[in-house]
Structure 1
Amino acid sequence: MLSYRPNAHTTNDVVRQAIIPMTAANGSSYAQLVNRGEPKMPQKMVTHNWSNLFRDLLASVIADALEEHTFELVSALLSDEVGINALEQMIQVQGNLEDVYWICAFAVNQHSGICGANPRADVDPVTMLPHPVCSCGTPKFFNSTPPLNQHGESIHCEMNKFDDMMSFLACRDVSFAEVVAVDASLELFSRAWCMAELFEAHRMGMTQILLVRNKDTLLRRQHMLEGLRVQDMKASRQQDVDVILAKIPNKDAFNQRLRSLILDRNVGLLTAWKQADSLQQIEQLSHVLKWARLSTSVEDGLQVWQNWV
């Protein structure tokens, strides 16, 4: 993706301009391509929104691997090649380079879904050229594409199986966890699929790990979450919203449980995050020493300290 700019391109841009063209010849997902068809069982799944910066999605995953609670420093390091190389070496030193994460942009076969159209006329934010449309010819399966199951959902569609995927992986591994990659604007909490995944993970008792840009961003914007309503949430396709809403018979009760899941002062996700962040601040010396150890173990480790402040 020659036009790629870390501070401009979203996950949607990267899927459209890198992942889809890269996998067109195979008509496969990116994960199938790079793993040469060999199944990989993930330890964690990542809930994220495609309008988030792709850099910040990766920063959230790397921050989780480095046992951080914010991704601002990692995001800064991902903005140039020297920082990227330093991070890769640091993850290797940490012993997490082979950890496997399930991310829909990579794991879902985009050629059996969205690749053949650009319905919103999305453009590259740098070149302002429309995202290309793929001509691979792979059959497409959306939510209502026959054959349908007893609930009226497409059997072959990969984009309506997230709850099944989570249940399958959680049953195979009791430690399977959800990483919630929260974008700087907290838009994730307005996305229907993201909230459906968040609630499903909670229902199944999965460990949920919140990654935010920094504490100030969270504290400044958290009031936006107090009026969360699933009826107001969005998805790239209205059909997806309809499917999610159809699965929720009592929407008012769902909204109340969702707000409690996120905002409850005793057990909510934001409370848990703040407690974990506070503990890390209390242990600030060991936190700094960890980064010092990692940065001195790699080439160009000085780059870490240049981005620390």
Structure 2
Amino acid sequence: MAFILSDCFGIRISHRASNIIRWIAAGLFGTLTLCLVFLNRYFGAISLALFIYFILAFVFRGSSAPLPLSARLVVALVILLSTSVITALPWVVFGGKEACQASRGTYKTPSGQGFEDHWLEVTLRLVFVWVLALQASFVNLGDHPPSAHVRQSIRCITFGWFGKLLNIVTPIVDSCQVPQWTEEGFRPTDAEEVYFTVFGMATHYITDVWFLQLVVDRLVAFQAAYGEKLPCSFVIVWLSRVMIFMAAMQLFSVVSPVVSLTVAMVLTMGVCTLSILHCGAYMVPYNDLLQAHKVEIATCNALSVEMEKESTFAMLVIRKSQIGFLVGCIGMVAAFLTNGLDWFILPRAKTLWMIYVVASNVGSSAITFSFVVLSGVNFKWCNCRSKLQQRPAETGGTSMTRGDLRHYSQKSWSFDATTSRKEVRASDWQKKVADLAMRRISVETLLRFFLQLGSDDAMPHFDPKRSTTNDVVRHVVIPHSRDGSLGRSFAEKFGPQKALTPKMVTHHWSNRFCDLVAAVLADALGLKRWDGVAEHLRSPGGGERLQEQLYANGTLQSQYWICAFCINQHASICGSSMGVLDTVTQTVLPSCDCATMKYLNDQPVQCELNKFDDMMAYLHRQYPKFLQVVAIDFDFMIFSRAWCVAELVQADASRLEQHMMIHSPSILEKNSSRLRSIQVQNLSCRGANL
């Protein structure tokens, strides 16, 4: 999002430079790892596992598109062939079970493990590693929409499989020759097998860390999309960081049995607590969706059918997130406990060791299974990258447009503008675009509208410090723009008679309506921040003083295109509020029973929700001074809305002038880290009105 940083900070971030820095860091890390491998086998193996993790998780962090089909086939083939080679190792290298038993003899380790015990361990590990290999092959072969999160999940599964695969080498060698053990029951640090054992253990715990990171990232992204703080989200984030640190500490559990058991117990209790909090956090939006689902079933119209599909899909995503995390946590807890007890109880018992082998592999299988459930990969064999490249740019040179974002959203709301325009007459489409573009609302009308809020006939419970744009649209905009049994857009009913050069306002409906109005008025006054205007709007007589300032400034009749007023809500969303609650009263927002025909994506020409790109291009052609005003909310949540960012991308690609309206410089500084980390693939693809 270089253009956002350019506007806010005066700098332009180079993606290429960022990649170079990451590769330089990887080179330095690799050099350190190489030195450790020769100096100390134990720490060298740990460093090697960390180095591979660094490459996969951070150097390739920006990768989001699936690999080409040929590359996916090669990766899956390598996984299956490598697993087959390790499986055949006892027969190819050592001559089979009989030869291994003869070579091993009757020697038993200090914990009492003989040939049969090690051979059983090899068999169990091979069974589990084949499970991991099949899961890794599945996710690598499958297709998915561009997503950095999914790519990270796939790499995590493959990384876990690779560690478990190499970890089998040690028990195979132990089964086919006399193993080296100290009298205390530990393997000598200079033994060649240490590389494989320690590397396998390191990848196991790093996979646990990676799993926790991705699950928490998913929850944080979901919270941003939901628009409200989820219960205990702050505690979940910090508890996960503590668990990540403790999981890393298990790599050094050989230091002391007490340390091993303590770390294992802390991890067990922490992960159990984390799983409970995680599921509880998801229950709040799930219950909201469940209520909306019941309302939609009771309401029979085209919009309700589409909304029912959306709510069902969202509830399924939440359930998958809960189940996937619980499955992964159960496996992790089993591995943590048995590992801690195995190091604590000396001399080490072979039964406990076998339980640990099973538990650790069950844990890895559970984590990879949860990733498979959450990844959403499929076998449609469509190359998403080529689709993005083949879709023609409709209004500019941007590589990601609103149409592209919708193309990868839930099926019932997806809309391929290119295909639709081939099926309809271009003149009908352009006529609707021109009709939308001619709607606008003046600053004077917007200010008067705001000042009447709170009156008996205009949302009496309106609270400028809490009520959102969504609340105002449902309570006031929709009812006041209705004429009898039909409805039209608010701008068509109350808009100015004479069309002037408009400004398009990009905002999101979860923002406080007072802040939206303040941002528009601040722009009309030529300001760069809206905090002072918001204070005037909330103070007695402040609205009248603002009107005088706007009149003196000559901008009282300036015109703005704001979707809440310029889109005909009666032709799209008025029939169902999806069970969403009013921010102040906590009651379900009202719905409208008008007879206006609803036009959604199944009727793309008449639909008003799919033409923002074309409308911006049309206004830019008609009015050379047309520009975009970005109403940045106090919490900078606008940058987590895919539709809002799509408008920013489109405006930047069309070389539109952009006015970034912020609350204050201090709030900008507070949220600067969020701007630096914006990635389109991590945005929330919610409805345009949310």
TM over 0.5: yes
- The higher relative CO (CA closer than 8 Å, separation ≥ 6) is in 1
User: Contact (CA 8 Å) 2:501, 2:625: kept in 1 or not?
Assistant: no
Q: Offset at 1:81?
A: 4.2
Report the equivalent of 1:53: 512
Q: Deviations over 1:190-221 (max 9, x none)?
A: 11111111011111111001000000000011
| Cα distance between partner residues in 1 of 2:499 and 2:609 | 19
Which one of the candidate residues 527, 547, 554 is aligned to 1:68? 527
| Cα distance between partner residues in 1 of 2:683 and 2:596 | 30
Q: Kindly tell me: are residues 186 and 114 of structure 1, through their superposed partners in 2, closer, same or farther at Cα, counting changes over 3 Å?
A: same
Report the equivalent of 1:123: 581
Say yes or no: does 1:169 pair with 2:627.
Answer: no
Say yes or no: does 1:18 pair with 2:468.
Answer: no
Q: Kindly tell me: are residues 113 and 42 of structure 1, through their superposed partners in 2, closer, same or farther at Cα, counting changes over 3 Å?
A: farther
| Cα distance between partner residues in 2 of 1:96 and 1:24 | 29
Report the equivalent of 2:598: 140
Report the equivalent of 2:542: 83
| Cα distance between partner residues in 1 of 2:477 and 2:501 | 20
SS of the counterpart of 1:142?
coil
Q: Deviations over 1:7-62 (max 9, x none)?
A: 010111111111011112250101011038x4734421100111111001010011
Which one of the candidate residues 594, 604, 609 is aligned to 1:159? 609
Instruction: Provide the alpha-carbon RMSD of the alignment.
Output: 1.6
| Cα distance between partner residues in 2 of 1:40 and 1:122 | 35
Say yes or no: does 1:96 pair with 2:555.
Answer: yes
What residue identity is the alignment partner of 1:177? Answer: L
Report the equivalent of 2:464: 6
SS of the counterpart of 2:505?
strand
Say yes or no: does 1:228 pair with 2:678.
Answer: yes
| Cα distance between partner residues in 1 of 2:569 and 2:611 | 14
Which one of the candidate residues 188, 192, 201 is aligned to 2:642? 192
SS of the counterpart of 2:629?
strand
Q: Offset at 1:228?
A: 1.6
What residue identity is the alignment partner of 2:541? Answer: V
Q: Kindly tell me: are residues 235 and 138 of structure 1, through their superposed partners in 2, closer, same or farther at Cα, counting changes over 3 Å?
A: farther
| Cα distance between partner residues in 1 of 2:515 and 2:468 | 9
User: Contact (CA 8 Å) 1:24, 1:134: kept in 2 or not?
Assistant: no
Name whichever of 172-181 and 227-236 sits farther off.
227-236
Q: Kindly tell me: are residues 41 and 162 of structure 1, through their superposed partners in 2, closer, same or farther at Cα, counting changes over 3 Å?
A: farther
SS of the counterpart of 2:538?
coil
SS of the counterpart of 2:597?
coil
Structure 2 unaligned runs (5+)?
1-458
User: Contact (CA 8 Å) 1:181, 1:211: kept in 2 or not?
Assistant: yes
Q: Aligned runs of 1:25-40 on 2, under 5 Å? A: 25=483, 26-35=486-495, 38=497, 40=499
SS of the counterpart of 2:526?
coil
| Cα distance between partner residues in 2 of 1:81 and 1:114 | 34
Q: Offset at 1:226?
A: 2.1
Percent of aligned pairs sharing the same letter: 38
| Cα distance between partner residues in 1 of 2:487 and 2:560 | 22
Say yes or no: does 1:201 pair with 2:647.
Answer: no
User: Contact (CA 8 Å) 1:192, 1:235: kept in 2 or not?
Assistant: yes
Which one of the candidate residues 146, 166, 180 is aligned to 2:630? 180
SS of the counterpart of 1:78?
helix
Say yes or no: does 1:110 pair with 2:569.
Answer: yes
| Cα distance between partner residues in 2 of 1:47 and 1:236 | 15
Q: Deviations over 1:280-300 (max 9, x none)?
A: xxxxxxxxxxxxxxxxxxxxx
Q: Which has the higher helix share?
A: 2
Runs of 4+ in 1 over 4 A off after TM superposition: none
What residue identity is the alignment partner of 1:55? Answer: C
User: Contact (CA 8 Å) 1:48, 1:182: kept in 2 or not?
Assistant: yes
What residue identity is the alignment partner of 2:539? Answer: D
User: Contact (CA 8 Å) 1:46, 1:178: kept in 2 or not?
Assistant: yes
Q: Deviations over 1:109-142 (max 9, x none)?
A: 00001100112x2112222221001000211111
Name whichever of 23-32 and 204-213 sits farther off.
23-32
Structure 1 unaligned runs (5+)?
147-153, 242-309
SS of the counterpart of 2:466?
coil
| Cα distance between partner residues in 2 of 1:192 and 1:142 | 19
SS of the counterpart of 2:607?
coil
User: Contact (CA 8 Å) 1:42, 1:102: kept in 2 or not?
Assistant: no
Q: Kindly tell me: are residues 39 and 97 of structure 1, through their superposed partners in 2, closer, same or farther at Cα, counting changes over 3 Å?
A: closer
Say yes or no: does 1:216 pair with 2:666.
Answer: yes
User: Contact (CA 8 Å) 2:500, 2:558: kept in 1 or not?
Assistant: no
User: Contact (CA 8 Å) 2:642, 2:686: kept in 1 or not?
Assistant: no
SS of the counterpart of 2:487?
coil
Q: Offset at 1:232?
A: 2.3
SS of the counterpart of 1:234?
coil
User: Contact (CA 8 Å) 2:501, 2:623: kept in 1 or not?
Assistant: no
SS of the counterpart of 1:140?
coil
What residue identity is the alignment partner of 1:188? Answer: I
The structure with more radius of gyration = 2
Q: Offset at 1:224?
A: 1.0
| Cα distance between partner residues in 2 of 1:203 and 1:196 | 10
User: Contact (CA 8 Å) 1:191, 1:235: kept in 2 or not?
Assistant: yes
